[in-house]
Structure 1
Amino acid sequence: MAETVRRPGVDAQGYLVREGSLARVPDAFRPVVATARDRLADAFGARLHSAYLYGSVPRGTARVGRSDLDLLVALGEEPGDADREAVRALGEAVDKEFPLIDGVGTLLYSRDRLLSNLERYDMGWFVACLCTPLLGDDLAASLPRYRPDSLLARETNGDLARWLPRWRERIEQAEDTEEARRPLVRFMSRHLVRTGFTLVMPRWQGWTSDLREMAEAFGTYYPERAAQLRTAARYGHEPVGDPDTLRSYVDDLGPWLAGEYTRVHGVKTARPD
């Protein structure tokens, strides 16, 4: 009798488990996390419903001088321009104060948006499974448990076709230098690898946020494209400033991946914004 393979990222019942925790934050990053927490509380006061960490810092894989600090903020009301400016200024100040991080990125939503039916299998899942509570009441308590199924795949990354025209515009508008192209390569590489992984996630039946593991899982089902995703996973960590790489993303790998994603899982439900 064949042995059942137990994939990472799921419990014994096949539900996705939360991947990070404050206990996993590396010691070097604890002061920056504490500072960000305190300044978020000061900036938003009673309007702040909750705040979360996500990414390499709460997973315990952050690298000094190379990793950024990723935050998600949930307000009790819809955020406005002043709120977006507040998180931008806060991020710049924390980044300047702590050289060990390579930037601060903050997602800003209302509590109601994160708990809405529209976001249940996208940002709701993101909060419940990929975010680590930092401040306030954890929204995961009001969200369902999730399985790595086709609905989750569709609603997380089933919109690559919508992004590709914007990517082409960003490439055309970028300065013609390696330095200007590297951040684009890093961002697009990561997006493509994650999309490739969630394409096969329902068959793989697990979860990982490691780009290399994502690429390997994808390659199991699409060996003819495996080398491209492995390269993208490498560039997600160590980006190059090669214009041919960007062109290959928007002219070859991206369109193929978008078409295959639509064929297998359908198109993500449109958002008003």
Structure 2
Amino acid sequence: MPDTIRPKGLDALGFFVREGSLARVPPSFEPVVAEARHRLPGLFGSRLHSAYLYGSVPRGTARTGRSDLDLLLALHEEPTDADRDAVRELEKALDAEFPQIDGVGTLLYGRARLLSEAERHDMGWFLACLCTPLLGDDLGQRLPRYRPDSRLARETNGDLGRLLPRWRERTASAGGSEEARRPLVRFMSRHLVRTGFTLVMPRWRGWTSDLHEMAGVFGAYYPERARQMAEAAVRGYEPVGDASVLRSYVDDLGPWLAGEYARVHGVKAPRSDGA
């Protein structure tokens, strides 16, 4: 096993240690978190089962004015289009009111789906291991413990091949606008680095959410692609609106990674909604 970076993120028995804590929220982000916690019950009332933070804010690594606020909301029933519209309005309001965040991203699911067998090694794992409880009863307590195995790798990021046609459409739609390309570069960079990391995660036998560390772990196993992945990690934090970067993702790194992922772990099982 390459030992450039020592495995971490697991307990003594090899299970994931849950990431993040409300105690780690940086002081400058505490008012944003408090306001989100205050507004969510009013938005959904008794239909809200629970709410969670994830990403850099509960990990304590958020950068003022540069990081976004990431939320996962679980409703008692499946969300409606009206629910999604309401969440978009909340995102816009929080982003406008709090300059310390650079956008808000919200995942919205029904409780039953999060606990379903189909999501057990995808969104179930995500909630149980990468999300910090904010409101309500923690669904993570109803999910199993997880190890960084091949099944988890397949069911989390084994769908890159299905995503690439959509990525190409979005790249074409961005046209000549550097402003429109920059968030695409950020999104695709992060997705590719995380996919590259989970490709080798079962061999490394550990977990990290730091993009640079992820790229370093990947590069130890695939040195011929190490530079590309390291550059993608940089762009995940500091995106540029460069059309050539997007082309390299959808025409080179992305297809190669999708093929290698399918060879090593197989392809993620399709969901009933086509996801």
Q: Give the TM bin, normalised by the shorter chain.
A: over 0.9
Question: Secondary structure, in 3 states, of the residue corresponding to 1:181?
Answer: helix
Matches within 5 A, 1:209-224: 209-224=209-224
Residue equivalent to 1:69:
69
Residue equivalent to 2:190:
190
Query: TM-score scaled to structure 1, two decimals?
Result: 0.97
Residue equivalent to 2:232:
232
Matches within 5 A, 1:168-183: 168-183=168-183
Match for 2:188: what amino acid?
M
Question: Secondary structure, in 3 states, of the residue corresponding to 1:261?
Answer: helix
CA apart distance, 1:8? 1.2
Question: Secondary structure, in 3 states, of the residue corresponding to 1:129?
Answer: helix
Query: TM-score scaled to structure 2, two decimals?
Result: 0.97
CA distance in 2, matches of 1:81, 1:179: 28
Residue equivalent to 2:46:
46
CA distance in 2, matches of 1:172, 1:237: 23
Moved over 3 A (4+): none
Match for 1:92: what amino acid?
K
Matches within 5 A, 1:89-108: 89-108=89-108
Matches within 5 A, 1:106-255: 106-255=106-255
1:238-271 Cα shifts (integer Å, max 9, x gaps): 1111111111101100000000000000000101
Q: Does 1:59 pair with 2:55?
A: no
Further displaced range: 5-14 or 246-255:
5-14
Question: Unmatched 5+ residue regions in structure 2?
Answer: none
CA apart distance, 1:215? 0.2
1:125-183 Cα shifts (integer Å, max 9, x gaps): 00000000000000011100000000000000000000000000001111312111111
Question: Secondary structure, in 3 states, of the residue corresponding to 2:72?
Answer: strand
Question: Unmatched 5+ residue regions in structure 1?
Answer: none
1:177-236 Cα shifts (integer Å, max 9, x gaps): 211111110000000000000000000000000000000000110000000000000000
1:8-59 Cα shifts (integer Å, max 9, x gaps): 1100000011110000000110010000011111111111000000000000
CA apart distance, 1:6? 6.2
Matches within 5 A, 1:71-90: 71-90=71-90
CA distance in 2, matches of 1:38, 1:161: 40
Match for 1:224: what amino acid?
E
Match for 2:196: what amino acid?
G
Further displaced range: 37-46 or 187-196:
37-46
Match for 2:175: what amino acid?
E
Question: Secondary structure, in 3 states, of the residue corresponding to 1:254?
Answer: helix
Aligned length: 270
CA distance in 1, matches of 2:242, 2:89: 31
CA distance in 1, matches of 2:32, 2:267: 39
Question: Secondary structure, in 3 states, of the residue corresponding to 2:116?
Answer: coil
CA apart distance, 1:7? 2.0
Match for 2:88: what amino acid?
R
Question: Secondary structure, in 3 states, of the residue corresponding to 1:154?
Answer: helix
CA distance in 1, matches of 2:68, 2:242: 23
Question: Secondary structure, in 3 states, of the residue corresponding to 1:50?
Answer: strand
CA RMSD of aligned residues (A): 1.1
Question: Secondary structure, in 3 states, of the residue corresponding to 1:188?
Answer: helix
CA distance in 2, matches of 1:105, 1:225: 30
Match for 2:266: what amino acid?
G
Match for 1:188: what amino acid?
M
Q: Does 1:270 pair with 2:270?
A: yes
CA distance in 2, matches of 1:89, 1:179: 22
Q: Percent identity?
A: 76
Match for 1:136: what amino acid?
G
Match for 1:269: what amino acid?
A
